[in-house]
Structure 1
Amino acid sequence: MKKQQLRKELKSLRNQLSRDQVDRWSKEICANIMLSPQYRQADVIFGYLAFGNEPNIDIVLEQARLAGKTVCVPQIISETEICAVRFEGFGQLSLDRYGIRSVSGTDVVINPHEIALVLVPGVGFAKNGNRIGMGAGYYDRFLAQVDKAVLMGVTYNALLCSKIPVDYYDKPVQYLVTETNVTLCE
């Protein structure tokens, strides 16, 4: 199956999830992240601000911040790039031009080389760590700059695939976290 068709099918499947399922599974995903050694050992965490029915990791972002970890999230800086900006709390968020929550009122950019753990969203993941995103390539370009971090894909079991087509620039994640567990990719 071609990447575009798989993306369309997975987005449709994710959009069919009920609000209750998303909320329940997101809480379970957050608990699994925070229990993982990858999270506990990380001093600088790059997360994301969930959009639509993506797994919501707000609990992780807030708990990490309260624990004294440096937390950063993506900020769109051009039509093709994101950077990591410091997350200081939910009071600093506003909606960007795409209707996605983003940090406003900060210019604290975090060097990608300082990030220890990246929590990577995706439309779907394969058990070998391959990922399919929304199609704009923001994460592909950003992850190419992150050299020391552990990459953990965040998804629901329902969106795990046996195989995802990849391109030369796709960077697989090392771990997958779902509502049931954290696993090392095959």
Structure 2
Amino acid sequence: MAEAVACPVPPEQRPLEEFEQLSRSWFFSWPAGEFPHLRRALLISWLMLLPLSTLVASGSWTLRNDPARLVAAGAVAALVLPLLLLMRQWLGWTYVMKRLLAETVDYEESGWYDGQIWEKPLSWRERDLLVARYEVRPILGRLSRAMALATGLILGGASLCQAL
């Protein structure tokens, strides 16, 4: 049985609660599940931006007369949105990871920027460490791989546009 600890940190500012909030969030839960769920969400965001980026690319006189390069340039430019979404998710999950791994919790008592620091008891640190290692670290790994893939596709697509 876990020991009862009087905690002055407001519940919504506790690292484990922040983890649970991200896990329940529509946006931040994409990488928390299976990789196909993340892939599907990123593919949809790419497809949504593809017509707009192709339309913007058609403003170029050189691309307007070269449909293959026009479509390739639009497809590469549309990859920026999925990459930005991945970066935002990575920042959110990294913030929670740092809070879970920290031995202290920084918090605001009244919301008036009166920052306080509370040292986590050993039982909280152990629990938070387990969550960080076995829940958050795999999520950050999936996000890192997805960002590397998106970056590789952007670089490869840019090289392809030059070669066409």
What's the TM-score, normalizing by structure 1?
0.24
- Greater RCO structure (CA 8 Å; 6+ sep): 2
Between structure 1 and structure 2, the one with the greater Rg is 2
Relative to its length, the structure with more strand (as a share) is: 1
In terms of fraction of residues, the more helix-rich structure is 2
